[in-house]
Amino acid sequence: MTQPLSRALPGEHVHITTDPWTEPFWQAAKERRLVAAQCSDCQTFRMPPTPFCPHCQSQKIQWPQLSGKGTVYSFAVCNRSPFPGVEDFVYIPVVVELDGAPGIRLVSNLIDIDPAYVSIGMAVTVDWNPITEGWQQPVFRAA
Amino acid sequence: MTWEHCDKTAIVGVGATPYYVRGQSWPRTINEMIGEAIIGACTDAGLKVQDIDGFAYYGGAKAGYLDTMDTASIMEMLGIPEVNFTATLTGGGGGSAGAIGLASAAIIAGEANYVVTVMALQQRNQRLGTVFGALKPDPENSFLQPSGLVGPGHLMSVLARRHMHLYGTRREAFAEVAISSRNNALNRPEAIRRTPLTLEEYFASPMLADPLCRLDFCLETDGAVAVITTSSERAKDLRQKPVLVRAASHGGRREWGRAFAGMGMSDEYFASSGHKSVADKLYAKAGMKPDDIDVALIYDHFTPMVIMQLEDYGFCAKGEGGPFVESGAIRFGTGSLPVNPHGGQLSEAYIIGMTHIREAVEQLRGTAINQVAGAETALVTGGPASLPVSGLILRSSQ
């Protein structure tokens, strides 16, 4: 029996806010570029982007663009709408390890896939879900 | 080296409201329930409410996520003349057991004599099960909330999946935690769920965040529980047999950190309860080892987290928690380590960890409904959550 394919969350219900340290991530996302915060001094990545490098306490930061490829670290399968008044649908919250950014993970959704085919370790690639106020949410699909 | 303050403080009173299904405590107000629990704890101890001179909260003194507990309001309501200590552990439900350590610290330091720890919960407007989805976005949770992980159970399902992947843990193990807890609640008049649970019913339960089904989630209930801690010297003059604070510990490692609120834990910590460092410190302070624990009150917001705590507290090896519970080890009456003989948060009631402290006290007084024969030591844990997490070892006074 095949299940319905997983979907992205309906963008009109997804809200984010930014601060000066997280804004570059979301501004790049608006251009459909996946970037990550990296310490310019010791090269340690951090997620979410915070004001200090937790390894060397430097505040120098750079935003390398990533390939958008990654690996499923863990996931859940949900089949109830997370939003009141929205009809139930299948969605897959996923924790992704990102190629080119060792040591950090992105919490996202895996879309357009039968949940039976999702497994830890599978390769995924980034896509984009338009959300409120013109932002774009990084989501993933099977690579 | 064993902590120099072992057994110098004691829990001397426990009070509680009835437990209500989510939202049904209204029109009682949350302060009314707090007051009833505190008055009950004083009566139990043989103290007057006016004797209270300290408050030691946890979870930032929030009552659940939406209400707050305020010492000044409680003093005004109950006529408490003066407080000398009022403080809280930070974080959330992870600090429940550790709040008794905070109370003990105040007493050992000579700051206060009779310290209340209380938690109250009323889910009238927003259920806790989907509370994160209802929060306003902030810059930090904007990296989590858009995934649709709307509640604590959804977040922890991701950890459970990883544990299954690494160690072959089966849903049958989660079921055993639920069924064992339910069995313990069957004869308890105050328990919310008192009908037997079968493995078939467990597997028929709807999946809420696969691999977790509804029966892996704890109850959503209303109510309040308060306990009073004092010095072991003062305790001798009170009504109840004192229950000694052997040791308490709270905190945790950055590798666990914000835990499932960020999913950035180290690989070693991800499929765990985050308690390992606190557990090791607790046993060292107490001068005890896992074999010395007679009854374990393990914070059971979600069934897999019980299994991961049993590993972190050394009752079985890392990754062996599934087979350990499936062997029947945690059953009351027959298992080698009775876990949550009160039915826990899965079947009795969920007051953010306080029912576990209450049950530990009753076990060590020898008055529990499901009494573990000869119980002299009890372990109580706080909830696996963003730091701090915490643990507490209580000891019978004779």
Say whether pLDDT at A1 is over 70: no
Say whether pLDDT at B130 is over 90: no
**B149 confidence band (pLDDT: 50, 70, 90):** very high
Using an 8 Å Cβ cutoff, are A45 and A35 in contact? Answer: no
Residues of B in contact with A95 (CB under 8 A): 158, 263
Measured distance between the N- and C-terminal CA atoms of chain B, rounded to whole angstroms? 23
- The tens digit of pLDDT for each residue in B167-226 reads 999 999 999 999 999 999 999 999 999 999 999 999 999 999 999 999 999 999 999 999
**B318 confidence band (pLDDT: 50, 70, 90):** very high
- The tens digit of pLDDT for each residue in B277-291 reads 999 999 999 999 999
Say whether pLDDT at B136 is over 90: no
The pTM of the whole model exceeds 0.95: yes
Whole-number percent of chain B with pLDDT over 90: 94
Q: Is B257 on the interface with A (CB under 8 A)?
A: no
Catalytic site includes residue B350: yes
Q: How many degrees, rounded to 5, is the angle at CA B74 between CA B69 and CA B75?
A: 140
Predicted pLDDT at A84: 87
Q: How many degrees, rounded to 5, is the angle at CA B233 between CA B230 and CA B239?
A: 70
- Which structure tokens are listed for A96? 């992704």
Residues of A in contact with B211 (CB under 8 A): 76
Mutate to test the interface with B, among A34, A47, A78 (most CBs of B within 10 A): A78
Asked if A108 lies within 8 A of B159 by C-beta distance, the reply is no
Using an 8 Å Cβ cutoff, are B215 and B205 in contact? Answer: yes
Say whether pLDDT at B1 is over 80: no
The span from the CA of B311 to the CA of A129, in Å, is: 39
The span from the CA of B308 to the CA of B176, in Å, is: 14
Provide the 10 A C-beta neighbour count for residue B336. Answer: 12
Residue found under tokens 């929060």? B135
Instruction: Label residue B301 exposed, middle or buried (CB < 10 Å: 0-12, 13-18, 19+).
Output: buried
SS3 content of chain B, % helix, strand, coil (to 5): 40, 20, 40
B42-56, B117-131, B324-338: segment of lowest average pLDDT: B117-131
Q: Closest to A15 (Cβ–Cβ): which among B137, B144, B154? A: B137
Active site residue: B57, B114, B283, B350, which one? Answer: B350
Using an 8 Å Cβ cutoff, are B146 and B135 in contact? Answer: no
Predicted pLDDT at B292: 98
Residues of A in contact with B165 (CB under 8 A): 74, 120
- Which structure tokens are listed for B251? 């905190």
Say whether pLDDT at B331 is over 60: yes
- The tens digit of pLDDT for each residue in A77-115 reads 999 999 989 999 999 999 999 999 999 999 999 999 999
Q: Closest to A93 (Cβ–Cβ): which among B147, B165, B211? A: B147
- The tens digit of pLDDT for each residue in A32-68 reads 999 999 999 999 999 999 999 999 999 999 999 999 9
- Which structure tokens are listed for B175? 């079921």
Residues of A in contact with B138 (CB under 8 A): 17
Interface ipTM: 0.97
| Measured CA distances, B31 to B19, B26, B41, B79, B121 (Å) | 15, 12, 15, 13, 10
Mutate to test the interface with A, among B164, B258, B263 (most CBs of A within 10 A): B263
Provide the 10 A C-beta neighbour count for residue A84. Answer: 9
Say whether pLDDT at A74 is over 60: yes
The span from the CA of B398 to the CA of B382, in Å, is: 26
**B65 confidence band (pLDDT: 50, 70, 90):** confident
The span from the CA of B228 to the CA of B103, in Å, is: 9
Residues of B in contact with A105 (CB under 8 A): 263-264
B223-227, B345-349, B351-355, B394-398: segment of lowest average pLDDT: B394-398
Say whether pLDDT at B133 is over 70: no
Catalytic site includes residue B299: yes
Strand segments (E) across A7-143: 37-39, 45-46, 61-62, 69-75, 92-98, 105-110, 123-130, 136-142
Q: What is the mean pLDDT of chain B?
A: 96
Using an 8 Å Cβ cutoff, are A78 and A91 in contact? Answer: yes
Provide the 10 A C-beta neighbour count for residue B72. Answer: 10
Residues of chain A with a CB closer than 8 angstroms to some CB in chain B: 9, 14-19, 21-22, 26, 47-48, 54, 73-80, 82-83, 91, 93-95, 104-109, 115, 120, 131, 137
Strand segments (E) across chain B: 9-16, 20-21, 54-57, 62-63, 67-68, 85-88, 115-121, 207-209, 212-213, 221-231, 243-251, 295-297, 377-381, 389-396
- Determine the angle formed by the axes of helices B171-185 and B303-312, rounding to 10 degrees: 100
| Measured CA distances, A90 to A142, B95, B144, B157 (Å) | 16, 35, 18, 16
The span from the CA of B84 to the CA of B114, in Å, is: 10
Residues of B in contact with A115 (CB under 8 A): 210
Chain B nearest CA to A110, separation (Å): 9
Chain A nearest CA to B255, separation (Å): 12
- Which structure tokens are listed for B237? 């003059």
Instruction: Compute the count of residue pairs across chains A and B with CB atoms less than 8 Å apart.
Output: 100
Chain B nearest CA to A116, separation (Å): 11
Say whether pLDDT at B35 is over 70: yes
Predicted pLDDT at A2: 64
Backbone phi, then psi, for B195, in 5-degree steps? -105, 140
Instruction: Label residue B252 exposed, middle or buried (CB < 10 Å: 0-12, 13-18, 19+).
Output: buried
The amino acid present at B226, given as its one-letter code, is: A
| Shortest CA distance from A19: residue in chain B | B139
Please list, residue by residue across B163-201, b when 16 or more beta carbons sit within 10 angstroms of its beta carbon and e when fewer do.
bbeebebebebbbbbbbbbbbbbeebebbbbeeebeeee
Asked if B210 lies within 8 A of A115 by C-beta distance, the reply is yes
Chain B nearest CA to A84, separation (Å): 10
**Bridge partners of A46?**
A37
- The tens digit of pLDDT for each residue in B224-246 reads 999 999 999 999 999 999 999 99
Provide the 10 A C-beta neighbour count for residue A12. Answer: 11
